[in-house]
Amino acid sequence: MDQLGIFALAFTLGFIHSFDVDHLCAVASFASHARTTREGVRLGIRWALGHSIAVAVFGTGLVLLKAAVPTWFNTVAECLIGFVLVGVGAWLVREVFRQQHLHFHWHEHDGHQHFHVHSHQHGTDHTHDHKLTALGILHGLAGTSGVLLLLPVGLANSTPAALVYVFTFGAGTICSMALFGAFAGRLFIWFQRWNRGVRIARGAVGVTSCVVGFVWIGNAVQHFTH
């Protein structure tokens, strides 16, 4: 396979890599509050930029130094990701339960008092893009060794070609997450037509994020104890 074909493969692998379940949980949790498709795209790109920056910087250092990522580093990073996913999932579930509150009021009209029950929605517009980028960086640190393991043998001894491979992999990641962000944002915009529906959908994403986080933590603990 010529180098052009290898770089096309790197782009494809980066594109597919984004669809790991922990990546999808992270982006979907934030995209569930998107009000436009463009906002969903932006959120997907913010995560992917963080991931790609981490892989590019960390991967470049490893390529230049001809070094490998220690096993314990991957395990610690995966454990941290697990805790973050649990935290993000718990935040989302909490938002779902806080989204609606009932308030009771007495109102007086024309000398008559009336008792009313009001339901107030609490907006969740602030998506904290920087936190999503930081989560992408953490995912990138944990995944750098996997990216380098996919490095073809023919590029291993060519530093410039290896670096182009790493950056092309990142480009694939950004493109796929932009598409997923658009899809997730559009899906939740559709759910927002029904208040109960969007709350159920957000809750499902939150619970899934927690479950995936606990699985990652469990796997990390197993690696530490063996």
Q: Confidence band (pLDDT; 50, 70, 90) for 110?
A: low
Q: Confidence band (pLDDT; 50, 70, 90) for 120?
A: very low
Which tops the pLDDT comparison, 200 or 124? Answer: 200
What's the chain's average pLDDT? 83
- Distance CA(130)–CA(95), nearest Å, equals 19
Single out the residue of 84, 72, 73, 70 nearest to residue 26, CA to CA: 84
Each residue of 128-165: pLDDT tens digit? 678 899 999 999 988 887 777 667 655 666 778 888 88
In angstroms, the Cα distances linking 16 to 10, 11, 210 are 10, 9, 23
pLDDT at 29: 92
Each residue of 192-213: pLDDT tens digit? 888 788 889 999 999 999 999 9
In the chain, where the domains are located: 3-225
Q: What is the DSSP string of the chain?
A: --HHHHHHHHHHHHHHHTTSHHHHHHHHHHHTT-SSHHHHHHHHHHHHHHHHHHHHHHHHHHHHHT----HHHHHHHHHHHHHHHHHHHHHHHHHHHHSEEEEEEEEEETTEEEEEEEEEEPP-----HHHHHHHHHHHHHHHHHHHHHTS-HHHHT-HHHHHHHHHHHHHHHHHHHHHHHHHHHHHHHHHTTSHHHHHHHHHHHHHHHHHHHHHHHHHHHHHHH-
Residue 102: pLDDT over 90: no
Q: Which of 68-77, 165-174, 178-187 has the lowest mean pLDDT?
A: 68-77
What does pTM read for this prediction? Answer: 0.81
